[in-house]
Amino acid sequence: MHPAASMELSANARAAATRTAPHVTIRGLSKRFADATIYDNFDFDIPRGKLMSVFGPNGCGKSTLINMIAGLFPADKGEILFDGQPLNKIKFGYVFQNYREAVFPWLSAFDNIAYPLKVMGVPKKERNLKVEKIVASLNVKIDLNLYPYQMSGGQQQMVSIMRALVVDPEILFLDEPFSALDYEMTLFMREQLQRVFVETHTTTVLVSHDLEEAVYLSDRILLLSRHPARPVEFVHYDAPRPRTDKTMTEGDFISTKAHCLEIFQREVRKG
C-alpha cells in the first residue's frame, strides 16, 4: 500500500473522530444545596454542533446544570471536560431567562452587545465592526442607541442574545430564553435562534419549559428526572432544517413529542 494514502486516511479518520466526539463530557457530577441533592454522580455527554434541549420537572436542576457547565458556580464533585480538557478560557454565550436583570441598563443596546468583547480586550474599532456584523446577520431592526429600559421585552432579549453571540461562542446556553416574552415574539425569536444555529452550528444547550418548542428546535432532547436528576432518555429528532410550521404537523414530530411527554409524565408521577 502507498504510505501517503494511509496517512491521509488516518488524518481523515482523526478529523471525523473529533467531529463526532462529544463537546462536553460530564462525569460523576454531584451537587447538593442545603436541603436537597440535585445531582448525584451524574454522567452525560453533550454532542458537538447540535442543538440540544434540556427538559424536566420544575426545580430538577436544569439551570444548575448549565450554570455548572458554564463555570458560574462549582460542582461539589466530578469533572466537566471540554474536548477532553478541563475548563480553560472557553468562550461561552449565555442567555438568561430574566433579560431585565441580565442586560446592563446603564449601557445602550449597542454597548451591551459590545461589552463581552470589551472584557476580552478587543479594540474599539473591531468591537464596533463585530457588533454591526452580528446585528446585520440577524436582520435586527432596533435602534441600538436606546437603553434597555426604552425597549420592549423582546427587543431586550434580542440584545442579550446578540450579546451572547457576538463573541462567536464555542457553546451557547439559553435558559428559558423566551418564557418571559409574548407568543408572537416567542415565535419570531425561535426562528431567529434556528437561523443562527443553521448558519453557525454552534453547540447549543437550550433549557425549555415548552415541549413543543424543545422538539421543534432540537436535534436532541435530554429528559431529566426529578432531583437527584438523572438522564432518563436522550431523544433524537433529526428532521431536516430549516423547520417550519409544517414540520410540526408531520408524524415524526408528533410522535417524538408524544414520546417525550409520556416519559415526562411518568417521571413526574414517580415524584
Q: Does 214 bind ligand ATP (CB under 6 A)?
A: no
Q: How far is the CB of 156 from another protein (least distance, A)?
A: 12
Residue 61 binding partner per list another protein, ligand ATP, Mg ion, none, with a CB distance cut-off of 5 to 8 Å that depends on partner kind = ligand ATP
Q: Does 112 bind ligand ATP (CB under 6 A)?
A: no
Q: Does 61 bind ligand ATP (CB under 6 A)?
A: yes
Q: Does 59 bind ligand ATP (CB under 6 A)?
A: yes
Residue 98 binding partner per list Mg ion, another protein, ligand ATP, none, with a CB distance cut-off of 5 to 8 Å that depends on partner kind = another protein
Q: Does 60 bind ligand ATP (CB under 6 A)?
A: yes
d(CA 204, CA 221): 12
Q: Does 188 bind another protein (CB under 8 A)?
A: no
DSSP state of 22: -
Q: Which three cell numbers stand for residue 50?
A: 447540535
Q: Does 93 bind ligand ATP (CB under 6 A)?
A: no
Nearer to another protein, 164 or 221 (CB): 164
Question: What SS3 string covers 153-190?
Answer: HHHHHHHHHHHHHCCCCCEEEEECCCCCCCHHHHHHHH
Residue 101 binding partner per list ligand ATP, Mg ion, another protein, none, with a CB distance cut-off of 5 to 8 Å that depends on partner kind = another protein
Q: For 78, list phi and psi in degrees, rounded to 5.
A: 95, 175
Q: By CB under 6 A, what part of segment 39-58 binds ligand ATP?
A: 58
Alpha-carbon separation of residue 78 from 89, 173, 234 (angstroms): 19, 21, 21
Q: Does 235 bind ligand ATP (CB under 6 A)?
A: no
Q: What's the one-letter identity of residue 146? A: L
Dihedral sign, CA of 234, 239, 243, 249? negative
DSSP H or E run through 16: helix 3-20
DSSP state of 147: -
Dihedral sign, CA of 183, 185, 187, 190? negative
Residue 38 binding partner per list another protein, ligand ATP, Mg ion, none, with a CB distance cut-off of 5 to 8 Å that depends on partner kind = ligand ATP
Q: What's the one-letter identity of residue 71? A: G
Under the rule (CB under 6 A), what is the footprint of ligand ATP? 33-34, 36, 38, 58-64
Under the rule (CB under 8 A), what is the footprint of another protein? 67, 70-72, 89, 91-92, 94, 96, 98, 101-106, 115-116, 119-120, 147-149, 160, 167
